[in-house]
Amino acid sequence: MKILAVCGMGLGSSLLLRMQIEGALKELGVTGATVEVADISTAKAVPADVIVTSPQFAPMLTGRVPVVTIQNYVNKQEMRQKMAAVLGVG
C-alpha cells in the first residue's frame, strides 16, 4: 500500500499532509503502508494506491487511483475520517 501526498512544489504542504496521514494511519491501526510526497508535476508518474491532496490539485490528478481531497490540513478528524473511508477501515 503506497499513499502519495501531493502539493505544488512537493516541499511544504505535502510534507505536512504526510505527517498527518501517518498520524491518522497509526490511530486507525493501519500497518504496512508507506507515505511519500510528490509535486504536482511529477505526481502522475509516481505509482501509488491512493493520492491525498488539496482541492486545487485534485482535478489534475483524478482518474488513476482514488484521490482524497483534504480541506483543512491541520484537522486530524477530517484526515482520519477520509482515510478510513478510502481504505475501508475504522
Partner 1 sequence: MSFLMSFVQDVLAVPAVLLGLSALVGLIAARKSVSEIISGTVKSILGFLILGGGAGILVGALNNMGPLMEAGFGIKGVVPNNEAIVAIAQKTLGSQTALIMIFGFVANVLFARITPFKYIFLTGHHTFYMAAMLSAVLGTAGLTGWMLVATGSLLLGGLMVLMPALASPYMDQVTGGSDIALGHFGTFGYWLSGFVGKLVGNKEDSLENYQFPKSLSFFRDSLISTSSIMFIIFLVSAVAAGNDATLKLSGGQNMLVFSLLQALTFAGGVAIVLYGVRMIIGEIVPAFKGISDKIVPEAKPALDCPITFPYAPTSVLVGFIVSFLGGIVSMLIMGAVGLAVIVPGLIPHFFVGGTAGVFGNATGGKRGAIVGSFLNGILISFGAAFLLPTLGALGFQNTTFGDADFQIVGIIAGGVGNAFKGSAVTIALVMLAILAVILAVGTVTNKASKRPANRKAA
Residues that bind partner 1 (CB under 8 A): 7-13, 15-16, 18-19, 22, 37, 39-42, 54-57, 59-60, 71-74
Smallest separation (angstroms) from partner 1 to the CB of 6: 11
Looking at beta carbons only, is 31 or 88 nearer to partner 1?
31
**How far, in Å, CA of 82 to CA of 44, rounded?**
21
**How far, in Å, CA of 39 to CA of 49, rounded?**
16
Smallest separation (angstroms) from partner 1 to the CB of 30: 16
In the sheet with 2-7, reading across from the earlier edge strand, the strands are 34-39, 2-7, 50-53, 67-69
DSSP conformational letter for 43: G
Looking at beta carbons only, is 9 or 85 nearer to partner 1?
9
